[in-house]
Structure 1
Amino acid sequence: MHELGVTFHIMDHLEKVAAENKVTHIRKVTLELGEVSTVIGSYLQNCWTWAAKKRPLFNEAELVLETLPAVTYCEDCQKTYPTVEHGKICPYCGSEHTYLLQGNEFNIKEIEVE
């Protein structure tokens, strides 16, 4: 389960930011999670709940997940389309010359502190 590693990575980063800004407690973290990021939201939530109890900075901190839709770009017709619905083949022109524009990332969007 790589969600635990993702959780530790996020918390490690936030601990550095909190120290730089003299923050003693984080109440809520909003994370943008790409639709095809391979991170499973429910697993990430479970890992966060477990890990937050082990780190005073995050004690009872809420994790909010916002899904970023996966969007693919077609190089041939220059249109975008929903990746999950259509996959790699462009629904407009049938081309396979496509690439993912967004939807594979996870970003810390917002942090609420005391």
Structure 2
Amino acid sequence: MHELGIIVHVMRTVEEVAAENNLTEIRSVTCEIGEVSGVVPEYMIDCWGYARSRSELLKDSELKIEIIPGVTMCEDCGKTYSTVQYAKICPHCGSSATYLLEGNGFSIKEIEGA
């Protein structure tokens, strides 16, 4: 389960940002997770519940998750399509000359604190 490692990294990053901005409490952390990133949102939430109990700064915080859709671009026809629905084959022209545009990343989008 690599989600716990990701959560540990997120917590360290949030704690650094809090220290730089003199925050004493974190209310929520919003993460963007790519639909085809391999990160399981439910596991992230479970790991957050465990990890936040170990941090005074994050103990009452909420983890919010936004899913970024997987979008693939076809090099032959120039159109985009849903990666999850059609995978590697372009539904517009049938080409396999495609590449992933977005949807495989992970980022901290927002930190709400006081």
Cα offsets for 1:62-94 (capped at 9, x unmatched): 001111100000111111000000000111111
TM-score (norm 2): 0.97
Name the CA distance, whole Å, in 2 between partners of 1:46 and 1:70.
Answer: 24
How far did residue 106 of structure 1 move? Answer: 1.2
Name the CA distance, whole Å, in 2 between partners of 1:61 and 1:18.
Answer: 13
Corresponding residue pairs, total: 114
How far did residue 14 of structure 1 move? Answer: 1.1
How far did residue 6 of structure 1 move? Answer: 0.4
- Runs of 4+ in structure 1 over 4 Å off: none
The answer to whether the aligner puts 1:71 opposite 2:68 as a matched pair is no
Q: Identify the residue that residue 82 of structure 1 maps to in structure 2.
A: 82
Q: Identify the residue that residue 49 of structure 1 maps to in structure 2.
A: 49
Cα offsets for 1:22-42 (capped at 9, x unmatched): 111101011111111111011
Cα offsets for 1:34-67 (capped at 9, x unmatched): 1111110111000001000001110110001111
Query: For the aligned residues, what is the CA RMSD?
Result: 0.7
How far did residue 109 of structure 1 move? Answer: 1.2
Name the CA distance, whole Å, in 1 between partners of 2:14 and 2:28.
Answer: 11
How far did residue 107 of structure 1 move? Answer: 1.4
Name the CA distance, whole Å, in 2 between partners of 1:4 and 1:82.
Answer: 28
Identity of aligned residues (%): 55
Name the CA distance, whole Å, in 2 between partners of 1:104 and 1:54.
Answer: 29
